Amino acid sequence: MSGKTLLFEQFARVAKALASANRLGLLEALAQGERSVEMLAKATGMSVANTSHHLQVLKDAGLAVSRKGGLQVFYRLSDDEVVGLLGCLQRVAEKHLAEVDRIVREHFDKFDTLTPVGHDELLKLTQSGEAMVIDVRPPEEYRAGHIPGAVNVPLGELPTRLKKLPRNQEIVAYCRGPYCVLAFQAVEQLRQAGFAARRLEDGFPEWKAGKRPVESGE
């Protein structure tokens, strides 16, 4: 067997690990930061046993790493290249699968027809004071890592915190990634309340993977 064939077999291990909607969901969750098996099970709606099985497959393929903390096992992505791999997979599917285009139009574009904010544009808007950035993910994900200066406003708290948001700045919301509906729903609520609002073109994992500045903690 040639060296190239041996390599392709190993590459196929990675591809096989990605060939599961449940495991792709786990990778999206892990892209927000390190989590325990129990937390990941809750985030994805799977049983702990099923979650643990899928995580082991991801670990065996080199996509995730684990550590023990007391009685719990914690997982995280092996590195930011995994986020890039997921992004490449998404872009290829969007470009060449008509079904993906239909799903995006029916489930995402209906929330927002405006052009989202790119990374470079967001930096300019925040540096000039023209925009305020809100992170609409749960607090534990925000604490694990967020865009510098972003204020954590979980989607469920948004209606009660509208009075504290500035009217003289554009509000830019972001969440877990390009297909996370939290930012879409936040922008929709903000516009209905009379705010100028847009969403970031993707999410925190893509921002971090792009070597942009990141903060952690409260």
User: 3-state SS string over the chain?
Assistant: CCHHHHHHHHHHHHHHHHCCHHHHHHHHHHCCCCEEHHHHHHHHCCCHHHHHHHHHHHHHCCCEEEEEECCEEEEEECCCHHHHHHHHHHHHHHHHCHHHHHHHHHHHHCCCCCCCECHHHHHHHHHCCCEEEEECCCHHHHHHCECCCCEECCHHHHHHHHHHCCCCCEEEEEECCCCCHHHHHHHHHHHHCCCCEEEEEEEHHHHHHCCCCCECCC
The beta-carbon contacts of 18-23 under 8 Å, at least 24 apart in sequence, are 18/61, 18/63, 18/85, 18/89, 20/54, 20/57, 22/46, 22/50, 22/54, 23/54, 23/57, 23/58
pTM, two decimals, is 0.87
* pLDDT confidence of residue 101: 86
**How would you write the pLDDT of the chain (218 residues) with one tens digit per residue?**
899 999 999 999 999 999 999 999 999 999 999 999 999 999 999 999 999 999 999 999 999 999 999 899 999 999 999 999 999 999 999 999 999 989 988 888 777 777 899 999 999 999 999 999 999 999 999 999 999 999 999 999 999 999 999 999 999 999 999 989 999 999 999 999 999 999 999 999 999 999 999 999 87
Domains plus CATH for the chain?
A: 3-78 (1.10.10.10), 111-209 (3.40.250.10)
Residue 83 contacts residue 206 (beta carbons within 8 Å): yes
Q: Whole-angstrom Cα distance, residue 112 to residue 188?
A: 7
Residues with a known catalytic role: 175
Q: Whole-angstrom Cα distance, residue 134 to residue 155?
A: 10
* pLDDT confidence of residue 218: 79
Residue 17 contacts residue 27 (beta carbons within 8 Å): no
